[in-house]
Amino acid sequence: MFSSPVSSQVNLHETSHFLFATVGDSITLTCYYEDKNKVLGAMQYWYKESLGTKPTRISSFSKYYQTKSLHGEFNQSHRFTLDADHENNNLNIKHVQMSDSAVYLCITCFLHNVDIIESVTLIVKSLSPTAEVRQSPHEDTEPGHSVTLNCNVQTESCEGEHRVHWFKQSEESAAGLLYIKGSSSDQCESNTDSPTKSCVYKLPIHNVSSEQTGTYYCAVAACGQVLFGNGTRITIKCEEDPRIYILSGALVFSSLLVLLLALAVCIMKRKLNWLCRTSSNTNAGEQEVNSLHYAALSVHPSSRRQRVTAQTDCVYSSVHPHD
């Protein structure tokens, strides 16, 4: 009978980022992990993955087994120390060197489960570099178009070929290695007047979308050291949609139409008010004229003398009808 192999499961719970340092600095790589299986315990490790090499174990720690140790060359070097307790597993590096540039992984293992908790890409800058890596700081493109990133490397004459690595960091995805390429003769030019050599490495990106936006770092392994560029940030320019102009024109037209209608309503209202006032005044005048009544009174005197001297008087009376 043959027993079936036990499969392991790798879970990514990592927080990835870049860490920049200068030769001689002291840094701390932090890793926080909440052990949910305190009864059986879990092992915690730090690994170092240099460019082009396999991961190397730096340290191991377990609260359950009460072990905490550094391994191999890291145990012999006094620059590496481990500060670990039941939830923190921090790695201290004193007086960093160019050779410390690498990807550092904080890993937790329990039974057959492997959790990658932290991933830190350490970039160490030299105070007096013998080589220089240049990148354009920014590249703009449109959705669906292509863009080519350039990595210009200038080094002194040294044996061995360059090995180029491209890293990407963005807000939507974790930092990680994208592409590895060796040197080719048609990409480098030697200067006869000086011992320097100039090489240009390209990274084409086709059909650019929001997933390709971010900062791309060029790392070159040359002359016994790893050199990083300052990174090129890719952003997508917003295309001008013609529908925006149509909607803007419709909005302006609607606004003007509303103003014109409001003005017309105002004018009509004023005209109606004027007509109402005029009609009221006219009707009032007609009512006053119609309410006047004339009456002629004849007085007949009793004597002839009175008949001679008497005058005919006209009396006006106003009769107002009652509703």
- Domain 131-236 classified CATH 2.60.40.10? yes
Q: What pLDDT shows up at residue 56?
A: 94
Report in angstroms the alpha-carbon separations of 180 from 18, 135, 184, 201, 230: 18, 17, 13, 11, 18
Residue in this structure with the two tokens 């790392």, named with its chain if needed: 219
- Quick one: which of 66, 19, 74 has its CA closest to 46? 74
Please tell me the distance from the alpha carbon of residue 244 to that of residue 126, in angstroms, as a whole number: 51
Please tell me the distance from the alpha carbon of residue 259 to that of residue 201, in angstroms, as a whole number: 62
Fold of 9-125: Immunoglobulin-like (2.60.40)
pLDDT digits (tens, 9 = 90+) for 185-217: 446 766 666 667 788 888 888 888 888 888 888
Please name the residues in contact with 111: beta carbons below 8 A apart, sequence gap of 6 or more: 40
The residue type at 71: H
Please tell me the distance from the alpha carbon of residue 125 to that of residue 96, in angstroms, as a whole number: 10
pLDDT digits (tens, 9 = 90+) for 240-294: 556 777 888 888 888 888 888 888 888 888 888 888 877 766 665 555 555 555 5
Low-confidence stretches of the chain (pLDDT < 70) are 1-16, 35-40, 157-160, 171-187, 189-195, 224, 238-242, 280-323
Q: What pLDDT shows up at residue 299?
A: 52
- The strand pairing partners of 233, in sequence order, are 138, 215
Q: What pLDDT shows up at residue 13?
A: 46
> What pTM, to 2 d.p., does this model score?
0.60
Please tell me the distance from the alpha carbon of residue 301 to that of residue 27, in angstroms, as a whole number: 140
Question: Helix, strand, coil % (nearest 5) of the chain?
Answer: 20, 45, 35
Q: What pLDDT shows up at residue 284?
A: 58
Q: What pLDDT shows up at residue 225?
A: 74
Q: What pLDDT shows up at residue 274?
A: 82
Let me know if the fold of 9-125 is the same as that of 131-236: yes
Show me where the domains of the chain are located.
Answer: 9-125, 131-236
123 and 215 in contact (C-beta within 8 Å)? no
